[in-house]
Amino acid sequence: MNGKVDWEYAREAVGDSPELLLELVEIFFTEYPKLITGISTSIQSEHCVDLRRFAHTLKGSLRYFGKTQAGELSHRLELMGRDEQIEGATELFGELQSELDTLLPELTAFAASQPSDPDA
């Protein structure tokens, strides 16, 4: 795992439909800022139930793009929330943000490379 998108996996997951993959990328870009904010707030307030929920949702969203380090870090944060073990979550969240910083430009480049829909 290197934090990058597994494009082969992502294409297979959507039946090799670039349109559907683009839609998933666009949904991810809409949702992930709310999830990141939710994770951050949950850690700061030590609200484990919310940490679990936000991290679980982010993990699920990332799974469309293969087995990424960001997905693994989201999973670890989810488990911390489940186990009500918040110690170390701030550091793990920092690692997650760094991984997303490497993954997001790749998703952005994919979205920019797709032809625009003239019927939109």
Q: Any idea what the CATH number is for the domain that residue 25 is in?
A: 1.20.120.160
Burial 16-49 (b: 16+ CB within 10 A, else e): eeeeebbebbeebeeebeebbebbbebbeeebbe
Is 66 part of a structural domain of the chain? yes
pLDDT, one tens digit per residue, over 80-116 is: 999 999 999 999 999 999 999 999 999 999 999 998 7
Percent of the chain with pLDDT over 70: 94
Is 117 part of a structural domain of the chain? no
Is 50 part of a structural domain of the chain? yes
Domain extent for 27: 7-111
Residue 114 · residue 18 · CB < 8 Å:
yes
Is 88 part of a structural domain of the chain? yes
Q: What pTM value is reported for the model?
A: 0.89
Tell me which of 64 and 2 has the higher pLDDT.
64
Is 98 part of a structural domain of the chain? yes
Query: How many folded domains does the chain comprise?
Result: 1
User: What pLDDT does residue 1 have?
Assistant: 44
pLDDT, one tens digit per residue, over 18-62 is: 999 999 999 999 999 999 999 999 999 999 999 999 999 999 999
Find, among 106, 114, 91, the residue nearest to 18 by Cα. Answer: 114
Two tokens at 62?
């990332």
